[in-house]
Amino acid sequence: MEAFQEALVVPILKIAVFLCIGMLCMDFIEKVYMAIVICFVKLCGRKPEKRYKWETIKDDDVELGNSNYPMVLVQIPMYNEREVYRLSIGAACGLSWPSDRIIIQILDDSTDSAIMELVEMECRIWESKGVNIKYEVRDNRNGYKAGALKEGMKHSYVMQCDYVAIFDADFQPEPDFLYQTIPFLVNNPEIGLVQARWTFVNADECMMTRMQQMSLNYHFKVEQEVGSSTYAFFGFNGNLISYLN
């Protein structure tokens, strides 16, 4: 038995230890690299608003009316979102943007018919208030969230839109979200998409939520900013705005 352990188990454990040490070194090097880059970004003032041109959309031409504002499609994919559907739909419908230049698209993949009725009813309530909101369902869940977003693009009214904004079902964008993000795309054709960082409505609820906030703040303030500043790959955070046509 001891001979077996020496011949097989011990070498495997040694290899595992070396692999762990190697991954630890790689992680340490990555953290040092990100620390150097983020310090450079902060010290040199390479914030997005300084690196890229940003100007408010002018709406002082009476003859043009709201035509200066690009047409925006807002997509919200949902799946049995009983707890948050009303908040997210309300936040999207409360975005400050000319009402004739925005379409809210609710993509409901829910499997619970009761929740589907609630979501559709909420959409009808906002529609009765003059909001251009569309409630869309499909007969399958192919591709899940990505599939729902892709299916939503097939509707004829989407062709009139210039930009698309995507929010997860539990997001509550600030009313000025489009006013803050659209100008980056309008004034900088080289930019492909704009993402915004998160804030948290329940960060102070308990110790666990505070720890989660700290972890995610590091992700947004360091990891994502380093990825963007160095033109490296970075993840999709559940919200973005990008070109459509």
Q: pLDDT truncated to tens, each residue of the chain (245 aa)?
A: 666 666 677 788 889 999 999 999 999 998 898 888 888 887 876 667 677 888 887 766 555 667 788 999 999 999 999 899 999 999 999 999 999 999 999 999 999 999 999 999 999 999 999 999 999 999 888 999 999 999 999 999 999 999 999 999 888 899 999 999 999 888 888 888 888 877 787 878 888 888 888 888 888 888 888 887 777 777 777 667 777 66
Q: How far is CA 223 from CA 30, 36, 232, in A?
A: 10, 12, 10
Q: What is the pLDDT of residues 206-221, one digit of tens each?
A: 888 888 888 888 888 8
| Residue 38, C-beta contacts closer than 8 angstroms, at least 6 positions apart | 221, 222, 225, 226
CA dist 88 and 184 (Å) reads 24
Report the predicted TM-score, pTM, of the whole model to 2 decimal places: 0.80
Position 65 scores a pLDDT of: 66
CA pseudo-torsion sign 113, 114, 118, 121: positive
Q: Which of 189, 190, 194 is nearest to 241 (CA)?
A: 194
* % of the chain beyond a pLDDT of 70: 90
Q: What is the pLDDT of residues 10-62, one digit of tens each?
A: 788 889 999 999 999 999 998 898 888 888 887 876 667 677 888 887 766 55
Does residue 197 contact residue 219 with C-beta atoms inside 8 Å? no
How is residue 186 written in tokens?
Answer: 């309008």
Q: How many of the other CB atoms lie within 10 Å of CB of 202?
A: 10
